[in-house]
Every structure is written in structure tokens, then in C-alpha cells.
Structure 1
Amino acid sequence: MSTIKEYLSELSGRRVTVIGMGVSNIPLIKMLLRAGVEVTVRDRSPRERLAEQAQELESLGARLILGENYLKDLPEELIFRTPGLSPNTPELLDAVQRGAALSSEMEVFFQTCPGRLIGVTGSDGKTTTTTIIAEFLKEAGKNVYVGGNIGRPLLADVADMVEEDYAVLELSSFQLMTMDQSPHIAVVTNISPNHLDYHHTMEEYVQAKKNIFLHQSPEDRLILNFDNPGARSMASEAVCPVTWFSRKWQLDEGVYLRDEAIWLTNEQGSREVLPLELIQLPGDHNIENYMAAIAAVDGLVPDKCVRAVALRFKGVEHRIEFVRELDGVRWYNDSIGTSPTRTTACLESFPQKVILIAGGYDKGVPFTQLGLEIVDRVKTLVLTGDTAPAIRQAVEQADGYGPHTPDIFMAGDLAGAVKEARAAAQPGDIVVLSPACAAFDRFKNFMERGQVFKQLVQEL
């Protein structure tokens, strides 16, 4: 590991390009420029969309290449890619073949952060688990930085960090794909098909996830979900001790359920850590998120701090978030439901059949199993977005489907979907937006989709 000052001095005289002018890369670009590094910034967006940002970076000395041909000719020796750009992009592969090194903002952070790193990945539950871990540590009086795929880019803070600090990071498969360092404590919440539009194969997706632990040392710790076959299979490649968590089995060692409470068994013995009645978040998946977080902070946080956080923590925005009750109907925003497994977990969180609004951008993930879940758990289905026909087909072909099981309506946009749901709802019903798909067909991201949904519901 080197300090950020040492890292930047090593770049002196090297030609560097940063691809992407998104939120995560701006601190990196400014840091490089202020250190006197020759930086070319590339972005697919046209200049008119980046006008103010472009002007600021040029005033700091950056050379900009914007628009459709932003990847044409990559002569630089070091390339920082944005997470959304696959390292398998032909232009990047060609540059690497010519001798260029490929890196990212997160990789630089790992190389230069002096504090203790805790990383969380998985197909579902990353953000909530990351947030709970950070809240546990804060409650115990630790100095904590939260970042990665959530929060603010932490590279801007790295110069102020010390060894006693903690950085808790949500890490996506996009970020992990080229990582050659792993956090001291690594958590894999679960593995299921996701982002197959980006990774193209499930094998590539899983291999990216494995980078969260493949570069650990024997003194580090890996937390895995015993109930999830994809996560459980990773244990054979672990280079450090594995701590298991399970909602379905009482483990001889690890974190598990017993007598309506979360228990932990380790070398010191067995103890009850958290009664389930204290958890404010609905759904079995949130019990699993707490289990993963408890395993991650074992030995770092007193149990009383775990219980204090559980009592006050109401969840993260866009995750089964209560929006309002109107005419006896409760509305929930689960815009983070960007995969079939997330939406299934959402449906399982309610004790009754719901009115579900679903559909969005096609990530290449099948909806067959979701169709079965919808038949079992949804009374009225309102579909919108690019995947609406595919989800409808999966439901209509599912075992148990018949007239009114569920009723299905198609809407041209999210506003139309909210109107259809309002018309179908009766007092006592629950309406939830949990699309099972990404938002890119209509929105910038799932956060924007969730905000629009909440506004539409508040305007009813």
C-alpha cells in the first residue's frame, strides 16, 4: 500500500486518461490535475450536456474528448474506466494489448486507504447491509466512511483517513471486475442472475463478484450466505476463515436464527445478539441483511450497539419505503427492485396479496420464476416499460395462472401505471412499485424512478 501522495508522485510524467465524467470520477480527475498529471478526460455525452463541468475541468488543465467517438485512439499509458464501461470493450482490450494499464477510482482508493476496509457485494441486499454495518460501527464510536456504489466518492477523503478509521463499501460487479485487491472483511449477501446485459454470461458475473475475497490474506474474514447456493460455493476458493450466516439452519458456528432471535456462535461460545422483534424493517431478506452485518462486525461492535441500531433504523430510501396511505390503501416504493429476486423478496415481505407495478429495462434476466411468484402473491399486476410483454408472458405461462389470478393491466408509462393501480385498489390493499428490472428504459436510474413514483402517489 502507498499513500495517496506517493501514488500521485508515481504518475508524474505519465499520460493518463479518465473515461467518464460521472460522480465517482470527478474527485479522481481533480486530484490528478492538481498533482500536475497530464489528464485526458473522455465521455460519450456531447459537450452541451456537460458544459459547466467541462469548462471547470478544462480550466484545471484537462483535455476533453467528448461525444460518440470518445474511445477512438487510446494512446495513454494509464486508463481509468468508469464502472459502467466493461473492461471487455474492444477499444479497452486493444489499448491493454498495446501495453496500457487499466484501473479505476475504486482501485486507487483500495491502494491508498490507510484504514480498515469492509466490502459488501451480492445480487441483492448490498446497500441495506452496507448501511447497517456502518450504523453499527458509528454506534460503537468508530470513525466511519461509507462509499463505493453508494454515498459520495471516498477518494477525496483518503488523505484525511488514518489507520483507526473504517471504510464500508458497497461494491458492484462492475467495480469488482478488474480489482486485484480485496477488503479486510468481505461480505457476499447472495448470488443470483443479474446484469447479464453487461456481463453476457453468468460465469463472468460470478467471477467478478469473487474478486471481493480472492485477494484477501489469511488474517482477513469472509462472510457468506449458507442458504444461497451461489454464495455457498465460493467457500472452496476462500483464502481466509469463512463466517457463515443462515436464516434456515441452526449452525454449529456462525450467525443463525433461534427462538425468534439472531444468535452468534464462535470460539468464545454462543449468545443471543438481536431479538427479531427489535428489527424495524419488513421481510425475511432484511433479517438476512442484519445477519450478514452482525457477522461482519463480530468482535468490533458490542451487542448493545446492534440492538440500538435495529430499534431506530427504518431502512434506506427506495427499499420497500412506505410512501403514504390514501383511502385505506398503503403505497410502497421499492424501486431498488431491479431484478426478479429483489421483487420476489419484496412480495414475500407482505402478509397479503398486493397490487404490483412492474417492468422496465431488459437486463437479459429470465422472468420464469417471477411469473410463479406473481401468481402466488399478486392480486393485480400493472405492467409498464420495455419488459412488460415478457413479464406478462411469464405470468400467463406460470402454473396456477387463470382468470383474475392475477388481473393484468398494461400502462404506457409510470403515471399511467399509478392510475391503473389506484383504480384497482380497495381499502385494505397494498400497492407496491417493485419493477424487477432496471430503470434505464425510461429513467436515469432507480433513484429517479422512485422519486417520480413517490411524487405521482403524493399527487393522487
Structure 2
Amino acid sequence: MKKNFEEFRRFIKDKKTAVVGIGVSNRPLIDFLLSLGAKVTAFDKKNESQLGEIAEEFRKKNVKLVLGEDYLHNLNDFQVIFKTPSMRIDNPYLAKAKQEGAYITSEMEEFIKYCPAEVYGVTGSDGKTTTTTIIYNILRNHGYKTWVGGNIGTPLFPQIDKMKNEDKVVLELSSFQLMTMDVSPEIAVITNISPNHLDIHKDMKEYINAKKNIFRYQDKNSLLVLNRENDIVNSMVSEAPGSVRQFSSKRILNKGGYLKNNNLYIDDDEVCKIGEVRIRGMHNVENFLAAFCAVEDYVDVEDMRKVALDFQGVEHRCEFVKTVDGVKYYNDSIASSPTRTLAGLRAFEKPVILIAGGYDK
């Protein structure tokens, strides 16, 4: 059950609050916490010269700064700590602060708890951003006031006062953001799961468990959308607290999103032909099927069809750049895992020359 934001307003006032990481999303958070009466100290590994004008800007706002390599050594004596998503909860300095009574949280956790609008959360190893953006576009096309955030868009917590019950919010959620969450969105989508981010997570089991937090705290009225063709994701059906809707690009389903005779369907309704989908690749067909499952209860088939025919994709994802001497160049630089790269390569019928690099994660 959603909490009233007034509870947070009363809770945070005059609290000695630490914000760890002065990144793009935490800067608006710091301003927001200040406006609510919190006593904010900002922590960052960068030194003052690396932060530049930001450091002086925060000092003028009476934000204390703790900077440099040893910045976490002074994380004691705070009542509330907002951590950056990639910081593990078992970090020894965080663990000590928690032991001493600090409330440790993140912007996204608090946002989902207090957001008055219905929240759609999308996670997965691949396809998160595209699926999130498709859902956002379909809902907006139907006429809903729709907000998009999480890994994309702008920080939403500072805008929570502007949101209404009838609005819709769509969030792209990473395993880092989900790892410590004890709250889930009303509608959750898991596109797929394959080995990823094992440079941060201890092992595959921890990575999967983090992903499960997107639905672990749902209730019986919630919806979970799962990929029928991904064994790890399909195994989660029995764990769903609410209802489940599945999608598949390989088999016809009695209910959900699927392909039939090269047409995209939601339940018994044909949405469009596969050749009409504007963006390349079967992985993008799956992204659309997942999105259809998520929004089915709130929009018309025509809304889905319009977005499928018009949506041109997201930057850096099989994005056409230009043609030089008869050769077409595509930017697929977001393909930072083997499964993403393979999906991108399969999207092309003609021979492909791949330029790739990077490091193991």
C-alpha cells in the first residue's frame, strides 16, 4: 500500500542526512532534501577541484562536503543515508552506520514508496530501456500524464509533489537499484536474465535475487510480466504474489503477447505485422510484446499499433548513423553483453562487419 508523502516530509525534517555520491541524479535529490528541511552532508570520492563549480554551489546552500579517497570514513553519526545505487549494502562503512542506527535508503526506494501514481517497473539483462520507452509512449499516446525515470529520464523524486493518482510512472530499474529494495512497483516487467554485472554482484544467484525484488513485495492485485522463453525468468511464475502475464516470440500463448503467422498479438487481438515494426530485430519484437502485456489493461490495441509503427528506437541501440560508399553504419554501442551483441547481429540479414571492444563484467 502506498504511503502518503506527508509522512516522509515529517520524517526527514531536521534529520542529519548523508547523500553518498554527487552524481547527476543526486544533485536534484540534495536540493529536494534541503527544501524539506533536512540537514544535508554530501559525500564524494572526487576532490574539490574535480567537482568544480558544484562544490561552491553546494557550500552556498549550506551543504557540508566530505570529499576525497577516504570520504566514507566519516559516514558515522548520520540518521539517514541515501546511497548511490552501485554501492553495496555490505560496504563496511555502510554496515557500521546501519549498526549504529542509521536508516539507509536510496532515491528510487523512497520514490516508489511514496509515489501517488501507478508505477511500472522494467528490469532485465537486455531490453530494459527500449521496453521502458515503449511502455511510456503507449501510455502517453492513450492520453495519460506519464513520467519516465530510473536509469533514464530525469530524477523523479524531486518532482513527486507534481504527480497525481491518475498519472502513470514508468521506471527502468537496474540490479543495482533493486538490490536493496523492500518495495515493488504495481506492474513489473522482466525482459530476460543472462549473466551480467558479475563484476559487482558476488555471483549469478545474487544477481537473480536482486532482479526478483522488482516483484517480491507486490500484492495480490499486482501484475508481473515474464518472458516465457527465458528459463530463469519463466521459473519465477510460481513466485509471483499477484497475477502473471507472459510473452513469447516462439510459441502461441492462450493469454499474453505472442507471434502468430508473423503478426504480433496480445491475447486474441492482432496488433500489427512483424514487418510493420519500425525498429530492427526479434529482440525488439519481444520488447514490444512485453510492453503490450504491461499496458493491456489500460490502453486500446490501436494505441499499441500506433507506437509499434512509429517508434524509431532509442539512441545507441542498432541506431542507423549514415551510409558511406554504399555501406550502412549502425551504432549499437549499448550492446555491452554477449546476448545484446548477438541480438543486434541477428537483426541484420546482410553480412555484417562488427567493430567491438570493452572489458569483462
> TM-score, with normalisation over the residues of structure 2?
0.97
Equivalent-residue separation in structure 1 for 2:3 and 2:32 (angstroms): 16
Q: Is the 8 A contact 1:15 1:37 kept in 2?
A: yes
Q: 1:141 aligns with which of 140, 143, 151?
A: 143
User: Contact 2:183/2:218 (CA < 8 Å) preserved in 1?
Assistant: yes
- Cα offset, 1:197, TM superposition: 0.4
Question: Could you report, residue by residue, the CA deviation over 1:183-206 in whole angstroms, capped at 9, with x for unpaired residues?
Answer: 111000000000000112111111
Q: Report if aligned partners of 1:250, 1:256 keep a CA contact under 8 Å in 2.
A: yes
Report the count of equivalent residues: 359
Please list, as runs of the form range in 1=range in 2, the aligned pairs for 1:25-44 lying within 5 A after superposition. Answer: 25-44=26-45
Find 2:160's aligned residue among 158, 161, 173. 158
1:231 deviates by 0.8
CA–CA distance in 2 between the matches of 1:99 and 1:74? 12
Percentage identity across paired residues of the two chains = 50
Aligned partners of 1:234, 1:27: CA distance in 2, in Å?
A: 36
Q: Is the 8 A contact 1:34 1:60 kept in 2?
A: no
Q: Specify the SS of the correspondent of 1:224.
A: strand
Distance 1:12 1:283 in 2: 50
For residue 157 of structure 1, report the CA deviation from its aligned partner. 1.4
Given that 1:274 and 1:303 are in contact with CA atoms closer than 8 Å, whether structure 2 keeps it comes out as: no
- Partner-residue secondary structure (3-state), 2:122: strand
Hey, what does 2:345 align to over in structure 1? 347
Q: Distance in 1 between matches of 2:143 and 2:35?
A: 34
TM-superposed deviation, 1:92: 1.2
**Residue of structure 2 in register with 1:457 after alignment:** none
5 Å-filtered alignment, 1:320-399, equals: 320-363=318-361
Which amino acid in structure 2 is aligned with residue 219 of structure 1?
N
Which amino acid is 2:136 matched to?
Answer: A
1:32-181 map, 5 Å: 32-75=33-76, 76-181=78-183
Q: Which amino acid aligns with 1:163?
A: N
2:5 alignment counterpart: 4
The equivalent position to 2:205 in structure 1, one of 203, 206, 211, is: 203
Is contact 2:29-2:158 (8 Å) kept?
yes
Aligned 8 A contact 1:145 1:166 in 2: yes
2:269 and 2:301 in contact (8 A); partners too: no
Contact preservation (8 Å) 2:266, 2:289? no
Aligned to 2:258: 256
Q: How does 1:207-246 map to 2 (within 5 A)?
A: 207-246=209-248
Deviates more, 1:94-103 or 1:186-195: 94-103
Give the aligned partner of residue 438 of structure 1.
none
Write out per-residue CA displacement over residues 376-405 of structure 1, whole angstroms, 9 at most, x where no aligned residue. xxxxxxxxxxxxxxxxxxxxxxxxxxxxxx
Gaps of 5+ in 1: 364-460
Aligned AA for 2:352?
V
CA distance in 1, matches of 2:5, 2:32: 10
Runs of 4+, deviation exceeding 3 Å: 1-6
Secondary structure of the 2:154 match is: coil
Considering Cα pairs closer than 8 Å and 6+ residues apart, tell me whether 1 or 2 has the greater RCO.
Answer: 2
SS class of match (2:215) = coil
The 8 Å contact of residues 33 and 61 in structure 1, kept in 2 or not, is answered as no
Q: Using the alignment, how far apart are the partners of 1:158 and 1:195 within structure 2?
A: 30
Amino acid at match of 2:66: I
Instruction: Please list the CA deviations of residues 275-316 of structure 1 after superposition, one character each: whole Å capped at 9, or x if unmatched.
Output: 212200110000000000000001211111111111211100
Shift of 1:117: 0.2
Per-residue deviation, 1:91: 1.4
Q: Deviations over 1:394-435 (max 9, x none)?
A: xxxxxxxxxxxxxxxxxxxxxxxxxxxxxxxxxxxxxxxxxx
Structure 1 residues 306-321: aligned runs within 5 Å: 306-321=304-319
Deviation at 1:38, TM superposition (A): 1.0
Check conservation: 1:278, 1:307, Cα contact below 8 A: no
8 Å CA contact 2:142–2:303 kept in 1: the answer is yes
Within the candidate set 270, 274, 286, 1:288 is matched to: 286
After superposition, the C-alpha distances for 1:247-279 in whole angstroms (9 at most, x for unaligned) are: 1111122211111111222xxxx2212221220
**Aligned residues of 2:12 and 2:37 also touching (Cα < 8 A):** no
Residue aligned with 1:147, SS: strand
Rounded to whole Å, the distance in 2 between the matches of 1:326 and 1:14 is 59
The separation in 2 between residues aligned to 1:287 and 1:207, in whole angstroms, is 27
Shift of 1:352: 2.8
* Counterpart secondary structure, 2:85: coil
Q: CA deviation at 1:13?
A: 3.4
Deviation at 1:170, TM superposition (A): 0.3
2:190 counterpart letter in structure 1:
V
- For structure 2, the residue ranges without an aligned partner over 5 or more in a row are none
Deviation, structure 1 residue 73: 2.8
Give the Cα separation in 1 of the matches to 2:8 and 2:44: 25
Partners of 1:298 and 1:229 in 2: CA distance: 24
**Cα distance in 1, alignment partners of residues 86 and 329 from structure 2:** 32
Match of 1:383 in 2: none
Aligned residue for 2:216, secondary structure, equals coil
In 2, are the aligned partners of 1:8 and 1:32 still within 8 Å (CA)?
no
